[in-house]
Structure 1
Amino acid sequence: MAAPKALLLLLLLLLPVSNAAQPPRTLQVPVFHRDAVFPPPPGAKRGGHLRQSLAADAARTYSLVDTTVHGLLHSPVRYTGIPFENGEYFALVGVGTPFARALLVIDTGSDLVWLQCRPCRRCYNQQGRLYDPRGSSTYRRIRCSSPQCRLLRYPGCDGSNGGCRYRIAYGDGSSSTGDLATDRLLFSNDTYIDNVTLGCGRDNEGLFYTADGLLGVGRGEMSISTQVAPAYGRVFAYCLSNDRTSRSARSSYLVFGRTPELPSTMFTALLSNPRRPSLYYVDMTGFSVDGERVTGYSNASLALDPATGLGGVVVDSGTAISRFARDAYEALRDAFDARAAAAGMRKLPREYSVFDACYDLRGTPAASAPPIVLHFAGGAEMALPPENYLLPVDVGKRLTYYCLGLEAADDGLSVLGKVQQQGFRVVFDVERERIGFAPNGC
């Protein structure tokens, strides 16, 4: 199915074909919410995408945990399914020479850049045309003996031509298999990067509907953030706008390279886990509700143990809803409940989906919800706006309830998801080993 004509016109304007005389100091990537690119049908229920993604969220978080730290056999599952049905953010890039436009989901929890390619043995239904590497003069297969092939966790070799094969299997059953190659990527500020290692997917299935592939921006060697580091440094930032229908290139964005810091940016240390080196860990120290620090849970609940690889908090653009260790989540939920009751929010007696704290706000504005602040080591904090944690859920009969949009984690890993990150400029500064958060950053 072809993309809407208005969108194609927009993409033509955002990806020029000429190369700048002087490469810019930063690499700009336009980013769009999937609702802006592929609007939901008229009459679609609020929160519908959210409900469809929660099971995939759970599968993703399970596979972000390295099963070897639990003494289990490590199955051939590297990453988990990305919840594409919940408000995904697409990065727009050009691939090949001449370039073809590709909409790739931004994922800080994985490394490989890949897209569906012709000829395709089995491909899911994407909105645009499949990329055909036979039409690119800069496309090159990578040999099995190459260093790039050896970086793969599960490399394969094509016996007929000696080409390297990759396979990524996700925890929800989604997968991508194909040829490891290099090609040119074109970005919106007239700049291209040659010889980018990427996957050309020939056999793909699962929850990748509408996207052309995935843009891995993890900390590993295959990541696009690592591959462009010689020119732009090991630092990038993004802002995922709350305005999901905006097609403005000035709304959501992804930028590689060091940019001027917003005065409101607060930094905390970037931690490393030797068992999961591709993930971005932060030292989260707790929560506040309505100005009071939440108590009643173990201080170790959110801490990373580098010796075992257990625990910790990961900043992840591929997970929708934030998940915190159960005792920490329950303490936060109970503190919110108490303050919500004082503010006149009527709690519902039943759960909705995975949410166990839902409210009937008829007669009570959502803006009056008790404010939640996330605290990090070094004094950094994220004061969440209500729309980042009080999520609408349609329950029929023209009724919309609001639920505390957080979950309990029982697998040892806490995750700061993209719904809570929306509207913040998030800076991943690997060079200085820190992560920054700035409100109103889009």
Structure 2
Amino acid sequence: MAPLKTLLLVVVVLLPVANACQPPRTLHVPVFHRDALFPPPPSAKRGSLLRQRLAADAARYASLVDATGRLHSPVFSGIPFESGEYFALVGVGTPSTKAMLVIDTGSDLVWLQCSPCRHCYAQKGQVFDPRRSSTYRRVPCSSPQCRALRFPGCDSGGSGGGCRYMVAYGDGSSSTGDLATDKLAFANYTYINNVTLGCGRDNEGLFDSAAGLLGVGRGKISISTQVAPAYGNVFEYCLGDRTSRSTHSSYLVFGRTPELTSTAFTALLSNPRRPSLYYVDMAGFSVGGERVTGFSNASLALDPATGRGGVVVDSGTAISRFARDAYAALRDAFDARAHAAGMRKLAGEYSVFDACYDLRGRPAASAPPIVLHFAGGADMALPPENYFLPMDGGRRRASSYRCLGFEAADDGLSVIGNVQQQGFRVVFDVEKERIGFAPNGCTS
């Protein structure tokens, strides 16, 4: 982030055939928040953890807005629990090795650390060893999959050798290794053969704990594109309560599921300069039932000529960021309502947040309601826990402190992060060119 991401038959005419074993109508993937898998130590203070996570979140946002358009993958802190990403549980190879992969709507390549490794960071669980997988195959340098990479490379044998990949991130983190195919196993004993993936031999930087990345962007080699011939070019997820230790409330599903009547759909926009990202046409905000004014609508709009601006829905970014004038108008409208409700605003800033309050015994649910508005009349009414976030600054009565959980974006790109998506079923329907939001989606 600068400052919360598509295998069978023909993947785009470029990619080879992948096969599913008696594929069901949908492909279900268990999903877990980082803290549910790797809970912070009991001695960890909420305030310090929050500051660490926000620092990592800033690095993620920075990678999304990089002007080169190359950095569409997440960057995570080097210490566990410093960011708010979600993991998908996937089996890799034959026999299967379980891998916890970060779900990333902002990148395409599926990759994981591989043994033997010239340089690997510390991950939780077993590192995948391709030598023990009977279904692992290197991808030739002359293959369509290799040509689909942004920065393809070749072994010393030239075009007749194996293909190599390289991905780099905004803070200098990177992964380099062999491009290959192998079998991925999902829930209910469903598996898919010949999935194109990266086998990372040199992985440096701040990816701690995860085995790798599950890229579900819109590109040619993302997992969502690879499974599209069998399941359709549509997937959805629900990201459960980040503060819960439950491992059963989140999910990721490829394929079309029964549509909830509460789903609000808005048009999915495309940016030729940033083709992996999921853009939406955001029309503004309401606070306390009144539309927020005082900012230019162009602040949230995508400029198709330059590729700048716009609003993306991102699973790897935690905190939502909006163009500075839009954020300021939202903050000021919220502040006026909070003041009228008797909430005392704290002096100064808390980390990146500049609107924090002492509730003085009032419940957090009394926060002024916020609604995000999208083109076509789609609304996303946020529950208070998705935007009025608890803080702990080491002060007395810190348990009563809450901050407005948004930030200003100075780099043009606005992002709807996973904290604000929490609890919603989010449908990425590329086939029908739309994105949908359904409240209380994790229990549906």
Q: State TM-score, norm by structure 1.
A: 0.91
Aligned length: 417
Q: Which residue of 1 aligns with 2:258?
A: 260
Q: Does 1:159 align with 2:159?
A: no
Cα deviation, 1:13-40, whole Å, max 9, x if unaligned, reads xxxxxx9974210000000111111111
- Pick one of 288, 291, 298 that aligns with 1:290: 288
- Answer yes or no: is the 8 Å Cα contact 2:141–2:163 preserved in 1: yes
Q: Which residue of 1 aligns with 2:393?
A: 395
Q: What is the CA-CA distance between 1:244 and the residue it aligns to?
A: 3.9
Q: Does 1:137 align with 2:134?
A: yes
Instruction: Call closer, same or farther: CA 1:49–1:198 in 2, change over 3 Å.
Output: farther
Q: Which residue of 1 aligns with 2:419?
A: 419
Q: Does 1:180 align with 2:183?
A: no
Tell me the amino acid that sits aligned with residue 351 of structure 1.
Answer: E
Tell me the amino acid that sits aligned with residue 142 of structure 2.
Answer: S
Instruction: Call closer, same or farther: CA 1:388–1:282 in 2, change over 3 Å.
Output: same
- Pick one of 120, 123, 126 that aligns with 1:123: 120
Q: Which residue of 2 aligns with 1:368?
A: 366
Aligned counterparts of 1:199 and 1:224: Cα–Cα separation in 2 = 12
Aligned counterparts of 2:137 and 2:316: Cα–Cα separation in 1 = 29
Aligned counterparts of 1:207 and 1:222: Cα–Cα separation in 2 = 24
Q: What is the CA-CA distance between 1:76 and the residue it aligns to?
A: 6.3
Q: Which residue of 2 aligns with 1:306?
A: 304
Aligned counterparts of 1:248 and 1:56: Cα–Cα separation in 2 = 23
* 1:43-442 alignment runs, 5 A limit: 43-65=43-65, 67=67, 74=68, 77=71, 79-82=73-76, 85-159=82-156, 162-242=161-241, 244-249=243-248, 251-397=249-395, 399-400=398-399, 401-442=401-442
Aligned counterparts of 2:431 and 2:76: Cα–Cα separation in 1 = 27
Tell me the amino acid that sits aligned with residue 271 of structure 1.
Answer: L
Q: What SS does the corresponding residue of 2:300 show, helix, strand or coil?
A: coil
Aligned counterparts of 1:162 and 1:113: Cα–Cα separation in 2 = 21
Cα deviation, 1:286-341, whole Å, max 9, x if unaligned, reads 00000000000001110111111111000000111000000000000000000000
More deviation in 203-212 or 414-423?
203-212
Provide structure 1 residue ranges, at least 5 long, that are not aligned to the other structure: 1-18, 68-73
- Answer yes or no: is the 8 Å Cα contact 2:63–2:74 preserved in 1: yes
Aligned counterparts of 1:228 and 1:263: Cα–Cα separation in 2 = 26
Tell me the amino acid that sits aligned with residue 194 of structure 1.
Answer: N
Aligned counterparts of 2:134 and 2:21: Cα–Cα separation in 1 = 22
Instruction: Call closer, same or farther: CA 1:43–1:276 in 2, change over 3 Å.
Output: same
Aligned counterparts of 2:164 and 2:45: Cα–Cα separation in 1 = 41
Aligned counterparts of 1:21 and 1:170: Cα–Cα separation in 2 = 35
Instruction: Call closer, same or farther: CA 1:247–1:366 in 2, change over 3 Å.
Output: closer
Q: Which residue of 1 aligns with 2:33?
A: 33
Q: What is the CA-CA distance between 1:47 and the residue it aligns to?
A: 4.9
Tell me the amino acid that sits aligned with residue 407 of structure 2.
Answer: E
Aligned counterparts of 2:332 and 2:145: Cα–Cα separation in 1 = 49
- Answer yes or no: is the 8 Å Cα contact 2:31–2:87 preserved in 1: yes
- Answer yes or no: is the 8 Å Cα contact 1:56–1:172 preserved in 2: no
Aligned counterparts of 2:176 and 2:274: Cα–Cα separation in 1 = 22
Instruction: Call closer, same or farther: CA 1:20–1:157 in 2, change over 3 Å.
Output: closer
Tell me the amino acid that sits aligned with residue 235 of structure 2.
Answer: F
Aligned counterparts of 2:76 and 2:221: Cα–Cα separation in 1 = 18
Q: Which residue of 2 aligns with 1:10?
A: none
Q: Which residue of 1 aligns with 2:14?
A: none
Q: What SS does the corresponding residue of 1:301 show, helix, strand or coil?
A: helix
Q: What is the CA-CA distance between 1:75 and the residue it aligns to?
A: 8.6
Aligned counterparts of 1:118 and 1:338: Cα–Cα separation in 2 = 56
Q: State TM-score, norm by structure 2.
A: 0.91
Aligned counterparts of 2:70 and 2:272: Cα–Cα separation in 1 = 19
Instruction: Call closer, same or farther: CA 1:204–1:39 in 2, change over 3 Å.
Output: same
- Answer yes or no: is the 8 Å Cα contact 1:66–1:275 preserved in 2: no
Tell me the amino acid that sits aligned with residue 159 of structure 1.
Answer: S
Q: What SS does the corresponding residue of 1:427 show, helix, strand or coil?
A: strand
Cα deviation, 1:216-275, whole Å, max 9, x if unaligned, reads 0000011100000010000000000015434443x1000000000111100000000000
Q: What SS does the corresponding residue of 2:151 show, helix, strand or coil?
A: coil
Provide structure 2 residue ranges, at least 5 long, that are not aligned to the other structure: 1-18
Aligned counterparts of 1:38 and 1:358: Cα–Cα separation in 2 = 28
- Answer yes or no: is the 8 Å Cα contact 1:275–1:309 preserved in 2: yes
Q: What is the CA-CA distance between 1:397 and the residue it aligns to?
A: 4.2
RMSD in angstroms over aligned alpha carbons? 1.8
Instruction: Call closer, same or farther: CA 1:292–1:90 in 2, change over 3 Å.
Output: same
Q: What is the CA-CA distance between 1:51 and the residue it aligns to?
A: 1.8
- Answer yes or no: is the 8 Å Cα contact 1:32–1:246 preserved in 2: no
- Answer yes or no: is the 8 Å Cα contact 1:79–1:171 preserved in 2: no
Tell me the amino acid that sits aligned with residue 54 of structure 1.
Answer: L
Instruction: Call closer, same or farther: CA 1:29–1:286 in 2, change over 3 Å.
Output: same
- Answer yes or no: is the 8 Å Cα contact 1:66–1:276 preserved in 2: no
- Answer yes or no: is the 8 Å Cα contact 1:31–1:89 preserved in 2: yes
- Answer yes or no: is the 8 Å Cα contact 2:47–2:393 preserved in 1: no
Identity within the alignment, %: 79
